Structure 1
């Protein structure tokens, strides 16, 4: 096939593919397709980094080996092209294809007289007008009846990561009115002696789109076992049928009680003005190794710190994340705040606190609630010098677990009761042994 014929074949099929709707509504796949069509006219195909920057708005932080956004969407586009030719058939002996291991569109030509697989021929493509690099906004146009809410899949629309900035401002203005005595008490005094940088981790929810057969987002989804973009891409790679359904929207949401909890921690952040604040969906194992860490959020948002949070103790989180299990006492504590609709009057919730040594001798603390009332209650309790005096004193190399019962109303905690406070065995926290 001559270059001119290849250009004509590619342009013709590219337009048929666009008109067919197989790529879905304008978004990630359509931007990727248009970009590849345009760049196929170049002598050198684009690199993974080029695509990440031009199509998916990744900046200098993009690391090809760690961020699979390009590979996953190339895989999705390849499957959509296969579907197009299965449904609509070939217009001739040629078809548009994405060779495996490459980031370019080519026209595959079946050799005359052969019945086997077509042989790819590298050909240039006619240029087309590419779309802008903005991220899709279809999620913002969803009507309330298209938002899925369930125990496993939920949409928290109350607050985004912008709450972190609001909370940071609140912490700065609140610091002079909050007692500073808790920093000198066990278990917080270790942060005063620490040399590692401080990392405040917010329990954000990673939200992705669930789409129809044409790629239109029908609902926003939260899965408790998918806490980051990498975990979403890995799950999609392991389940081919989900390439048509799940879409990365780069959305993260926070419970509103995180802002209240950060206000209680204002003195700690004031003592460490260079502390970083990031979402749990952005935490890497290296961060847990190299930083002193304080997690603030729901039990269901623990992400990478869930397993070390409970090893070596008597408490674990239940499968629904609205439940704390006390294995020693043989009882469970279920959050009433999880009930829909909630009961009238006071609601009983639960808050969990633990502090333990990290893998390199650093320090990790977790302030977590089943829901808002529990989180607000535990954050206030473990930063109260009066409450801290009632907890066991621990050395820097020891670990503690604490459980509070919190009663409240309309998201505000009104009464906090200490249920469990004891040391954990730190020797099993960073091992491969299973949870209780």
Structure 2
């Protein structure tokens, strides 16, 4: 039927169905057709009705069929939201709490709501993912509240001293975007219907990594799913909070603490226009990875391993270990450099969380920072590697083992 004699709803659902049909999921297409068909009814279908339509009569015997329906609806909602992301005008949505597809003029959950996409994705997650995701969602909300609503720190002379010691004579102006390292979360299922748990895999940091992993492990193709969720460790968020109180421009009453955001939220515009301070694990650098290691004396060989390019020395951190009662070793990394657009890029990181915390603690030790600057002969761009000793119940001990001026 030509578009000019179709209703706007029919025309839009037909266009999106063509896009959906190019995908690999017959069940997703069947769900879309069912929801479109039932959207004209006064009553939206119940989960058991959808389960029977998708899985057959056996769904009545499956206690997990309802959660399976929620998973499929979530994926379809995300597919629709991704299709309309950044587009203006009428769009299809699946309203919260309903199993129907409607046409609206604007997306009520889109950018106009003021929520970043990573938080909007959390808000659409269903209860089938369990209490663990609820805690993560609460942490994400707390993270957002802190970054947007936390009061401005009082201006003290020490703030300027910290920046001056770290950055040298070129410390002004400096209004950084504070970026927290986060990791990609994956949903794991064994029955292809319900989610058993959410996992973090150090090998999978981006969607490209996920695609590569699926090719190398085809048996996980229907076991692991990307719901567009990322997780930032509490230690990294807490460290970013400490950094926020140390590095902001001393501009009288107009001083503003640096904005805080997850590294997964960076885009090209922010990368080109912002001074950036990264806080987190080296394996979580995301889009900053190339800028950091293209001119570095070190190479990140794995999430827990750095290699000195010149000497070939391997620095292996004990990031994940079952026995946390013994003395462990990790490595922290600090660098101050300029991006391709001339903006400052400061990295306060570690192979593990403890080493990252030890590097951030340098900001409270101007004497040690001044000594580091002497090691690099006052260079404005430099990098340093620290060995960090971790003892349960004792302060972290850090030792400078390498320092280089960089170009």
Global fold match (TM > 0.5) = yes
What's 1:357 paired with? 338
Structure 2 equivalent of residue 252 of structure 1: 230
Where does residue 59 of structure 1 map in the other structure? 110
1:50 is the counterpart of 2:92: yes
Shift of 1:293: 0.5
Counterparts of residues 3-402 of structure 1 (less than 5 Å) = 16-18=52-54, 20=56, 21=59, 25-30=68-73, 49-51=91-93, 58-60=109-111, 134-141=124-131, 162-163=142-143, 165=145, 180-187=160-167, 190-194=170-174, 198-224=176-202, 226-227=204-205, 244-258=222-236, 259-269=238-248, 271=250, 273=256, 275-319=258-302, 321-342=303-324, 344-392=325-373, 399-402=381-384
Q: CA RMSD in A?
A: 4.7
Q: Partners of 1:34 and 1:414 in 2: how far apart?
A: 46
Query: 2:5 aligns to what?
Result: none
Query: How far 1:399 sits from its partner (Å)?
Result: 2.7
Q: How far is 1:313 from its partner?
A: 2.4
- 1:298-333 deviations in Å (ceiling 9; x for gaps): 1121111122212222212221x2122223233222
Post-superposition shift, 1:17? 1.9
Whole-angstrom CA distance in 2 between matches of 1:378 and 1:34: 41
What are the ranges of 5 or more consecutive residues in structure 2 without an aligned counterpart?
Answer: 1-32, 39-44, 60-64, 80-88, 102-106, 118-122
Larger Rg: 1
Aligned length: 327
Deviates more, 1:19-28 or 1:234-243: 234-243
Structure 1 CA distance for aligned equivalents of residues 345 and 78 of structure 2: 44
CA–CA distance in 2 between the matches of 1:174 and 1:335?
37
Range 405-414 or range 298-307, more displaced: 405-414
The SS at the match of 2:396 is: strand
- Asked if the contact 1:299–1:369 (Cα under 8 Å) also holds between the matched residues in 2, the reply is yes
Hey, what does 2:397 align to over in structure 1?
Answer: 415
CA distance in 1, matches of 2:131, 2:342: 47
SS at the partner of 1:267?
Answer: coil
For the 8 Å contact 1:406–1:414, the answer to whether it is kept is yes
Partners of 2:167 and 2:377 in 1: how far apart?
8
| Structure 1 residues 312 and 389: CA distance shift in structure 2, 3 A | same
Worse overlay, 293-302 or 272-281: 272-281
Relative to structure 1, is the Cα distance of residues 288 and 59 closer, same or farther in structure 2, using a 3 angstrom cutoff? same
Could you tell me whether the CA contact under 8 Å between 1:27 and 1:135 is conserved in 2?
no
